[in-house]
Structure 1
Amino acid sequence: MFERLISKLHEPKTSYITLETTPRHDADFLSVVDTIEKLGIADRVDGFSTTDNPLAKLKFNAIIAAMQLQQRFGKPVLATMSMRDRNKIALQSDLLGANGIDVRAILALTGDPAKISDQPAAKGVFESDSSMLLDIIKCFNAGIDYAGREFGIKPKPIYPFAVSNAFAKNPKTLLKKFVKKLDHGALGIITQPVFDKENLLKLLELFEEAKEISGKKEGVLIVGLFPVTKLKTAQFLASHVPGIHVPKSWIDRLYEAHKKSEKEEHKHGLALSREIFESVKTIHPKIHLMTANRFTLAKKLLEG
């Protein structure tokens, strides 16, 4: 199933959609899987992802969650692994365990700072940034560990993914990060949410330049999309989340709708989200949909 996912990723005009899932602060993830099944969403996506303690908040394990999604739907899952919580020993141990249960698409993430954790006095590990994990995956795919020792039983192929901001005041910052992640072996780079066509076109231009610089022609940009149906969400993203650009037109339209009613606000937000979703599908149909587990909203977008 991983080979088919990567094949679709590399086919320029072929639709490729993955859906993010966020394990909860519970000793269970199957309730999330059940919701996805009940809504019939799995039939409309090529795969899923599972987040790894986002915002340094304690959640159910991303690798086990990925396994449960794969077992239920028979579709590949990108399991996120954060550098914040593991040194190189733990990273490799988790990769071996994930390999043994056939979780073999890995989204390498540096991770949010531990100082914002909900766990008292939690400390981040951060032996390196996510490029180390990408390098470890390279080693595993060559049949050796990060220290160069050969495995008796070699791991099955692992498919590495990475993340990137969607916007920077200085575009060269994004270009440099694209090049670095391609150089370290990322097959796909998922952006933070994109909210307008101009932002999308600039990202695609920078990514093509990065592929030329790195010589890694097989790398693919995957456009992050996050449907926004509330003014306060759009305003928060615009004001507090670096690496994202929310156009003033979105804020203004949601503001006018908000003054009328909550229903109007939702309707206009959904319409704006559909517009960018359809625009990306037309221009570059490689999408990673993030809805913070609002799977009913995901279904509305996926159904068009």
Structure 2
Amino acid sequence: MKEKLLSDRLITLETTPPKLPTIDPMIEKIKKTEAYKYIDGFTTTDCPLSKLKYNSIIAAYKIQQTFNKKVIATMSMRDRNIIALQSDLLGANDLNVTNILALTGDPAKMSDQPNAKAVVEGSSLKLLEIIRAFNSGMDYAGKEFKIKPKQITPFAVSNSYAKNFSSIEKKIYKKVKNFALGIITQPVYDLEIADKLLEIRDKIRNSFSDERKNFDMILGFFPITKLKTAQFLHSHVPGIYVPDSWIDKLIKAHKISENEEYKVGLELSRNLFNNLQKKHPKIHIMTANRFEIVKELF
């Protein structure tokens, strides 16, 4: 994944493991829709919205084995203390899951499990520090491993929009300072916003003189095919901006029919996806496991 990130093109696809004792049905869906043919790698989420799901690291391993494509496994600070984080990293390393997305995690109060409590010994920055220690051959306590772990490529996340973009810049800088090599953004729906994010990338790159200047941004992309999705993202998800022009067009289409709504949304999404690829062909596709839509974008 590191080589792809440092090259000209990287298209990843997000997968959310199910609340099942197997991910085989999800793998079969990826096969059936042929989504794997259009991408360079995958990510696996880690109990998003604090809902119980299949383990992200084991899911990453099984997807890598099935499709022979690298997977970025998400690890949340919400559910693990420093011991568990390092234990999971050791196991992931043995399974050759060496691309890790460091995430603080959604609040435990959102969980579907009664009285679930968050651990959160620190933000995602602490996991980045732990990964840096592993890459130096040591645990977080500074004790050397008898067998040095395989090099881990660390990723982190960022909002894609803010009224004041300097706040986004500061947060990304802290993550890159802690050696995050890839920054995956929330979905982008405006080319001018993409330009602002890439300007931030360039500015941060120029502030480092070591390997951190090689970090890159992966623009998030979530195709919108329903009016209610556009309205929800625009009004209720912080850090995402959906243009009024998109909502206006979807309102008109919604009044005609459900098929027209889907058609208009897909056209808007496909045009944006193509333009983003021309501008910066490093994109992370999120579909809420609607893998069938991937081939419609290309």
Q: What's the counterpart of residue 162 of structure 2? A: 168
The one of 222, 226, 231 equivalent to 1:230 is 226
Once the 2 structures are TM-superposed, how far is the Cα of residue 156 of structure 1 from its aligned partner? Answer: 0.8
The question of 1:40 aligning with 2:34 is answered yes
The question of 1:52 aligning with 2:36 is answered no
Q: What's the counterpart of residue 117 of structure 1? A: 111
Q: For the residues of structure 1 that align with 2:193 and 2:142, how far apart are their CA atoms?
A: 41
Q: Which residue identity lines up with residue 167 of structure 1 in the other structure?
A: Y
CA-to-aligned-CA distance 1:35-68 (integer Å, 9 cap, x gap): 1112222221110000000000000000010011
Does the 8 Å contact 1:193/1:224 carry over to 2?
A: yes
Helix, strand or coil: the match of 1:217? helix
Q: For the residues of structure 1 that align with 2:173 and 2:205, how far apart are their CA atoms?
A: 7
Q: What's the counterpart of residue 127 of structure 1? A: 121
Q: Which residue identity lines up with residue 124 of structure 1 in the other structure?
A: A
Q: What's the counterpart of residue 259 of structure 2? A: 263
CA-to-aligned-CA distance 1:5-46 (integer Å, 9 cap, x gap): 3222212xx221000000111111111111111222222111
Q: What's the counterpart of residue 197 of structure 1? A: 191
Q: What's the counterpart of residue 136 of structure 1? A: 130
Q: Please provide the CA RMSD for this pair.
A: 0.9
The question of 1:182 aligning with 2:191 is answered no
Unaligned runs of 5+ in 2: none
Q: What's the counterpart of residue 87 of structure 1? A: 81
TM-score by length of 1: 0.96
Helix, strand or coil: the match of 1:79? strand
CA-to-aligned-CA distance 1:220-272 (integer Å, 9 cap, x gap): 00000000000000000011000000110111010000000000000000001
Q: How many residue pairs were aligned?
A: 296
The question of 1:287 aligning with 2:283 is answered yes
Does the 8 Å contact 2:133/2:142 carry over to 1?
A: yes
Q: What's the counterpart of residue 220 of structure 1? A: 216
Q: For the residues of structure 2 that align with 1:257 and 1:244, how far apart are their CA atoms?
A: 22
Q: For the residues of structure 1 that align with 2:237 and 2:165, how far apart are their CA atoms?
A: 17
Identity of aligned residues (%): 58
